Chain A
Amino acid sequence: MRAAFVIAAKDLSQRIRDRSAILLGLVAPLGLAFIFSAIIPDTTGSFDVSLAYVDQDRGEISSGFINGVLPDVAADELATVESYTDLDTAMVDVESGTTHALYVFPEGFTDGVLAGDGGSVRLVGNVDHSISTQIADAILSGYLAEIDAVGISVDAAMRNGAQDPTALVVAAAQSPDVVVLVDTEAANRELDATTFFSAGMAVFFLFFTVQFGVSSLLEERFYGTLPRLLGAPISRWSILGGKATTSFILGLTSMVVLAVATTLLIGAEWGNPVGVAILMISGVLAAIGIMAVVAVVSKTPEQAANWQSIVAVLLGLLGGTFFPLSQAPPALAFFSKLTPHAWFLQGLGDLSAGDGLSVVVIPALAMLTFFVVTVAIAVLAGRGKVLAP
């Protein structure tokens, strides 16, 4: 036991001196998280929609919308609403994008609708604001549907032999809605952009950080120090334990420092510390296991480092550490679940919804499964080989 710690302490001081562990474990993930948080516009909560209208109709129906619906839209802060008297001025603003979508009520619109001929309202949207335009469409469509509903009611009644259209209009306008939309609030289990990139970079670089420990056995052999260690009166498990401890301490330290630094410096929200700690420890173990397998099947430290970078980068990409894969095609989403990265990020996301600690159990178990399976493979593949003199 003591021997393992001595070996770990030696490895750690070596790593700190050559600075590459600090570079990959701290500087790189922190630097990239900083850059990402600076370049991603903060969209949470504020989604600007700017609407405008030109009322050439000046009739009952257009004013019903302009004075009855739009003020509520503005009051609910769904959108800002502006009025134009001149169509050309309004069009210039939509074209430049200062106004996202413009309603144009043409002359004679109300008259046409009341005469039973229907009618159309122009909605001009800026090409880069398709979502705003779609929202503008939906707001107006909801209002027009109400007007159409009255028309349909009257038409249907007349078809069945009703006589007095005027009375029907009144009755139809007062008839209650038959289908209503009720809301169910869903929790938010997605990380905000800053937290996502902080956590994503942390777990991506974790796989590079832990390789310093697991691969150092190959270095000991390469530099001829392994036979000396084997000749010492210590158990072979102490040697392996020492290397694993090095990886574990390096990995966990870098994760903890990154979590604290991103929280303080760029406002990342990692969530419940106990839950985060459980996820981090499972994640570090999974990373050690996977990197140990690569180290065991490699012949030289250089070969190990090469293959470890390939594995770390591939798993990181599939695990969605650089960009979220939540809306990726199903096949990609499936492969994503075959990486510890995806489970780590999912665990953090679930934790952020605030449903308590139980949500980390499955992600943690998934990562620990990676650990157990990969360690078993490493032990079997490395038996009689890794510690051969």
Chain B
Amino acid sequence: MKALAITWVNVKRLVRDPSTIFFVFIFPMLLILVLGASFGGGFQPQVAVLNEGGGPFAQELVDEMADSEDFDTISYDDRDALLEDVERGVANMGVVVPGDYDERLQSGAVAQVEFVGRLDQSVVQYRSTIEAIVADQSAVFRAARLVEEQGLAGFDDAVASAQLAATSTPRTVVARESTGESVFGEDLGQFDLGAPANLILFVFLTSLAGSAALINTRRLGVSRRMVSTPTSIGQILLGETGGRFAIAMIQGLFIMVGAAVAFQVRWGNLAASSVLLILLALVGAGAGMLMGAIFDNDEQAGSMGVFIGLGLAALGGCMVPLEIFPDTMVKIAHVTPHAWALDGFAELIRRSGTIGDILVEIVVLAAFAVALLALGTWRLRAKLTH
């Protein structure tokens, strides 16, 4: 009962502080939003397109590019802006259809299309996609010129018949199909990658930063006074642990429900994801207790908590997906509870797993929780009874 009172005080302290409200509730949602908006759409190369002339043939070429499923096009009306955006990476490459494009095609000259790219390897490879589209239009005009040269028709009629031929001649096509199992899973939602990563990052980060509150309790002598009352040390430790755990759970639930409502994140099997959240909150509570016992200066613990929290999150795959880590770093990542929790959520969200599929993750996280809680309460007990 007394333990519950201590837990309740901890929660009340949290909600009275504007900055914790921001970091615990607002910031995680903001981050999920920004990450989802920037990267959630999957990767499509961006092609900056400038049509300087605007004649019908130039327009046709531009339309062909806009219809491509291999990249997205962004329209420009200024050459310098296009060049700058390619240089800055806003667009991966640029295509400029010069002003004299139609004129040259009509006069029998060779028309040029400008490809603006940075000399990175990847851009050289994208170039072939644009080249194939240009080759398509080139074919029509080659045919038209042949007709004209053979004295069979004038230019306009030749173009018309070449266009007709281009649509009616049976083509050689590339029939594209795909195989294999995607590491990210099929139909991954825009926020499905960012939401669990941020859930784990913030529950852990808040728990570590929350150790400052524990240190304050000790520094201001509140703990001493609690110990002097007829309250057993076990009750106090239980209450403090409960406080850390309750805060982690409140934040975790808020992020899970918030992401589900605001960003349509499906967390998968409810029982399994609840178990993961509870374990995560216990691991966080244990880590927070340990930090609160080790450090004696709340400011240091606060900064250190932020640093360790962000560092472990990055290492554990909460900032950059584990899937793109180099192989050795994937192994190192699994030193952190983050990586295990991420694996668990990935199984539930992307592969519709159930509790049976994440038993290993559950056992490992439970081990983390037990070890950290035991260590934390042992150290804190020593500090309080000293």
Residues of chain B contacted by A159 (CB below 8 angstroms): 161, 164-165
Q: Is B283 an interface residue (CB 8 A)?
A: no
> Assuming the A-B contacts A118-B170, A121-B175, are A180 and B110 also in contact, with contact meaning beta carbons closer than 8 angstroms in the complex?
yes
Q: Is B75 an interface residue (CB 8 A)?
A: no
Task: Quote the shortest CB–CB distance from B136 to chain A (angstroms).
Answer: 6
Among residues 114 to 131 in chain B, which have CB atoms less than 8 Å away from a CB atom of chain A? 114-122, 124-131
> Assuming the A-B contacts A138-B131, A190-B88, are A125 and B170 also in contact, with contact meaning beta carbons closer than 8 angstroms in the complex?
no
C-alpha spacing A146/B170, complex, angstroms: 14
**B35 — nearest CB in chain A belongs to which residue?**
A323
Task: Quote the shortest CB–CB distance from B378 to chain A (angstroms).
Answer: 26
Stretch among A129-137, A246-254, A284-292 lining the B interface: A129-137
C-alpha spacing A186/B165, complex, angstroms: 38
Residue among B61, B105, B176 with the highest chain A CB neighbour number at 10 A: B176
Among residues 170 to 212 in chain A, which have CB atoms less than 8 Å away from a CB atom of chain B? 171-172, 175-190, 208
Residues of chain A contacted by B105 (CB below 8 angstroms): 178-179
* Interface pairs A-B: 7 shortest CB-CB: A118-B170, A306-B19, A149-B139, A138-B128, A160-B152, A155-B165, A145-B135
C-alpha spacing A157/B144, complex, angstroms: 8
**A61 — nearest CB in chain B belongs to which residue?**
B172
Give the residue of B158, B182, B320 whose beta carbon is less than 8 angstroms from that of A36.
B320
Residues of chain A contacted by B23 (CB below 8 angstroms): 309-310, 313
Q: Is A381 an interface residue (CB 8 A)?
A: no
Q: Is A365 an interface residue (CB 8 A)?
A: no
Contact between A27 and B180 (Cβ–Cβ < 8 Å)? no
**A309 — nearest CB in chain B belongs to which residue?**
B19
Q: Is B90 an interface residue (CB 8 A)?
A: yes
Residue among A137, A159, A309 with the highest chain B CB neighbour number at 10 A: A159
Stretch among A2-10, A233-241, A274-282, A327-335 lining the B interface: A327-335
Pull 28 A–B residue pairs with CB atoms less than 8 Å apart, ordered by A. Answer: A23-B303, A32-B307, A47-B121, A94-B180, A113-B172, A120-B172, A125-B178, A144-B172, A153-B146, A160-B150, A160-B153, A175-B142, A176-B142, A177-B142, A178-B145, A180-B110, A181-B115, A181-B131, A184-B117, A185-B117, A185-B119, A186-B83, A186-B87, A188-B119, A313-B23, A317-B34, A322-B319, A329-B38
Interface string of B282-300 (1 = CB under 8 A from A): 0000000000000001011
**A306 — nearest CB in chain B belongs to which residue?**
B19
Task: Quote the shortest CB–CB distance from B367 to chain A (angstroms).
Answer: 24
Q: Is A124 an interface residue (CB 8 A)?
A: yes
The interface size bin for chain B is 35 or more
Q: Is A18 an interface residue (CB 8 A)?
A: yes
Contact between B89 and A118 (Cβ–Cβ < 8 Å)? no
Chain B residues engaging chain A, CB cutoff 8 angstroms: 17-19, 22-23, 27, 30-31, 34-35, 37-39, 43, 45-46, 61, 70, 83, 86-90, 94, 96, 105, 110-122, 124-132, 134-147, 150, 152-153, 157-158, 161-162, 164-166, 168-184, 297, 299-300, 303-304, 306-307, 310-311, 314-315, 317, 319-320, 324-326, 329, 333
**B39 — nearest CB in chain A belongs to which residue?**
A323
Q: Is A142 an interface residue (CB 8 A)?
A: yes
Contact between A39 and B35 (Cβ–Cβ < 8 Å)? no
In the complex, given contacts A181-B113, A310-B19, what are 12 additional A-B residue pairs having Cβ atoms less than 8 angstroms apart?
A: A24-B303, A28-B306, A32-B307, A45-B120, A122-B175, A144-B174, A152-B165, A156-B144, A156-B165, A183-B127, A184-B117, A306-B19
Residues of chain B contacted by A185 (CB below 8 angstroms): 117-119
Residues of chain A contacted by B315 (CB below 8 angstroms): 35, 39
Contact between B161 and A182 (Cβ–Cβ < 8 Å)? no
Task: Quote the shortest CB–CB distance from B256 to chain A (angstroms).
Answer: 21
C-alpha spacing A380/B142, complex, angstroms: 72
Contact between B129 and A134 (Cβ–Cβ < 8 Å)? yes
Residues of chain B contacted by A121 (CB below 8 angstroms): 172-175
C-alpha spacing A333/B46, complex, angstroms: 15
C-alpha spacing A310/B147, complex, angstroms: 70
Task: Quote the shortest CB–CB distance from A165 to chain B (angstroms).
Answer: 12
Give the residue of A47, A145, A208, A327 whose beta carbon is less than 8 angstroms from that of B122.
A47
Task: Quote the shortest CB–CB distance from A219 to chain B (angstroms).
Answer: 11
Residue among B18, B116, B179, B184 with the highest chain A CB neighbour number at 10 A: B179
Residues of chain A contacted by B172 (CB below 8 angstroms): 61, 113, 118-121, 144, 147-148
Residues of chain A contacted by B137 (CB below 8 angstroms): 179
C-alpha spacing A318/B30, complex, angstroms: 10
Task: Quote the shortest CB–CB distance from A341 to chain B (angstroms).
Answer: 14
Give the residue of A122, A176, A179 whose beta carbon is less than 8 angstroms from that of B177.
A122
Contact between A152 and B314 (Cβ–Cβ < 8 Å)? no
